[in-house]
Amino acid sequence: MFSFPIFFGLENDIFEQGKSIISERNIPSYKFSSNGFIIKIESVDTLEAICDISVDLALNGISVFIFFGQGLYDEDLVPLTQWNKPIEFKNHDFQKVETFIDVSEVGTTIFSRNNKFNSPRKVSYFISASYFLDIENSGI
């Protein structure tokens, strides 16, 4: 679905396991707050490890942001979050982003310019059969 690099934005890393995986594997990351990381993924092994962390975070109500595009830099992908306002990415030029995915506890939001998966029906080919995608009530 993507090529590398892919950037993951973890708003909060509440698990020591996540921090230790990032540290032990020397995964390129940019720490933007006491708990937040922007992680640059450049291999399948790293992608699998960060996906495991991301699933744990999403299941605990913490959003994970995934960016793919050309000319992206980790410092520009820092989310600005406030409890009473929508999440913003003030330093980022979204013209450089081909695909943006917001993973949360209640679902996944995908914005994409890529023809391979620019409709719910096309995305379904990239999602494991163990997950349910309501194609009729979804949009990209």
Residue 1 has pLDDT above 60, yes or no: no
Residue 67 domain boundaries: 6-135
What average pLDDT score do residues 47-64 get? Answer: 85
Assigned domain for 46 exists: yes
Residue 97, strand partner residues: 69
Assigned domain for 120 exists: yes
Assigned domain for 1 exists: no
Please report the DSSP string for 47-104 in residue order: HHHHHHHHHHHHHTT--EEEEEESS--GGGG--EEETTEEEE-TT--GGGEEEEEEEE
Task: Please tell me which residue, 64 or 112, carries the higher pLDDT value.
Answer: 64
Q: What is the pTM of this model?
A: 0.79
Alpha-carbon distance of 20 to 65, in angstroms, equals 20
Q: How confident is the model at residue 41 (pLDDT cuts 50, 70, 90)?
A: very high
Q: Which residues contact 82 (CB under 8 A, 6 or more apart)?
A: none
Dihedral, CA of residue 60, residue 63, residue 64 and residue 70, to nearest 10? 180
Task: Please tell me which residue, 99 or 114, carries the higher pLDDT value.
Answer: 99
Q: How many domains does the chain have?
A: 1
Assigned domain for 118 exists: yes
Q: Which residues contact 93 (CB under 8 A, 6 or more apart)?
A: 76
Q: How much is the pLDDT for 111?
A: 77
What average pLDDT score do residues 77-90 get? Answer: 74
Please report the DSSP string for 99-120 in residue order: EEEEEETTEEEEEE--GGGSSH
Assigned domain for 140 exists: no
Dihedral, CA of residue 47, residue 102, residue 123 and residue 133, to nearest 10? 110
What average pLDDT score do residues 124-140 get? Answer: 72
Assigned domain for 19 exists: yes
Residue 79 has pLDDT above 70, yes or no: yes
